[in-house]
Amino acid sequence: MSPLIDRRRTAAAVLATALLIPLAACGDDSGSAKDKGSGSAAGTGAPAADLTVLAASSLTDVFKAAGAAYEKENPGTKVTFSFAGSQELAAQVKQGAPADALVTADTKTMDGLSDDTGKPTVIARNRLVIATGEGNPEKVGSLKDLADPKLKVVLAAPEVPVGRYSAQILDARKIAVQPVSQEPNVRAVLSKVSLGEADAGLVYRTDAATATDKVDAIEIPDAENAIASYPAATLKTSEHSEAATAFVAWLSTPAAQKIFQGAGFQQP
């Protein structure tokens, strides 16, 4: 083979190699762009999505903080909450409301939706207190005081979790209370007391803590109290099942638990 031909072949090989290098680089960039385009959230690795979470009214304040923290950890994900009494949420699920996850204030409601949800996980617990007007003008000191017919007491309706917990602790002490109204959720009970439309009501400790400038919270001894459990689960009709699963799982992480306990909730 002549030296000239050998030199030409060598030059051609060098040129081909030079052309392949930028093509390989382009291939890497294309793959990165594809990964970014898939919408993965940075924090959990779950796909970014707009999630709708149905949640018990007593979670209103803490979930606003938790949702903001989750979105910060997972850019590209947005969490929208719909708050109501757990029994109302259950009805929405049964009617096919478009949502991705559900958190109720009791296990009974969640258990009744087993055909519609994934496996639930308890993410927090709570206890009841007696809410009175600021300064406790009627001097309510214990559950038995709620039986005073001169006292305007408001409770949640029996089908509402906090209403069931209220009936449970009152019945256990054989305390007969004639409420002036029965409300659809715990926030409505709190509102009645804070507005002066009732002298006292039974609410969750965490709800009373959101209105310390309007109500006083009278503690109920543990032996006379009830423990409220908050299970969370994905909904089988979710269009973002992987992202919904990641959010529900996050609720049990140390970061989320710190937010719950900061708001007065107890560990699961």
| 193, 200 Cβ separation under 8 angstroms | yes
Q: In a 10 Å sphere around its CB, with 0-12 CB exposed, 13-18 middle and 19+ buried, how is residue 243 labelled?
A: buried
**Residue range 227-235: mean pLDDT, rounded:** 98
The C-alpha atoms of residue 180 and residue 149 are separated, in whole angstroms, by 10
pLDDT higher than 70, residue 245: yes
Q: What is the dihedral of CA 94, 260, 219, 128, to 10 degrees?
A: 10
The C-alpha atoms of residue 56 and residue 98 are separated, in whole angstroms, by 17
Q: Is residue 16 part of a domain?
A: no
**Residue range 58-68: mean pLDDT, rounded:** 97
The C-alpha atoms of residue 259 and residue 128 are separated, in whole angstroms, by 20
Q: Say yes or no: 134 and 205 in one domain.
A: yes
Q: Say yes or no: 96 and 212 in one domain.
A: no
Q: Is residue 19 part of a domain?
A: no
| pTM assigned to the model | 0.82
pLDDT higher than 90, residue 20: no
* Residue from 169, 165, 74, 77 nearest 126 by CA: 165
Q: Say yes or no: 94 and 119 in one domain.
A: yes
CATH number of the domain to which 92 belongs: 3.40.190.10
Q: Is residue 157 part of a domain?
A: yes
Question: How many independent structural domains does the chain possess?
Answer: 2
Q: Say yes or no: 78 and 130 in one domain.
A: no
Q: What is the DSSP letter of 266?
A: B
pLDDT of residue 18: 39
- Residue 222's identity, in one-letter code, is D
Domain that holds residue 120: 50-125+229-262
| 209, 263 Cβ separation under 8 angstroms | yes
Which residue has better confidence, 190 or 31? 190
pLDDT band at 44 (very low <50, low <70, confident <90, very high): low
Q: Convert the pLDDT of each residue in 94-124 to its tens digit.
A: 999 999 999 999 999 999 999 999 999 999 9
The C-alpha atoms of residue 260 and residue 124 are separated, in whole angstroms, by 7
Q: Which phi and psi (to 5°) does residue 4 adopt?
A: -65, -45
pLDDT of residue 35: 34
Tell me the average pLDDT of the chain: 88
pLDDT band at 208 (very low <50, low <70, confident <90, very high): very high
pLDDT higher than 50, residue 11: no
pLDDT of residue 47: 84
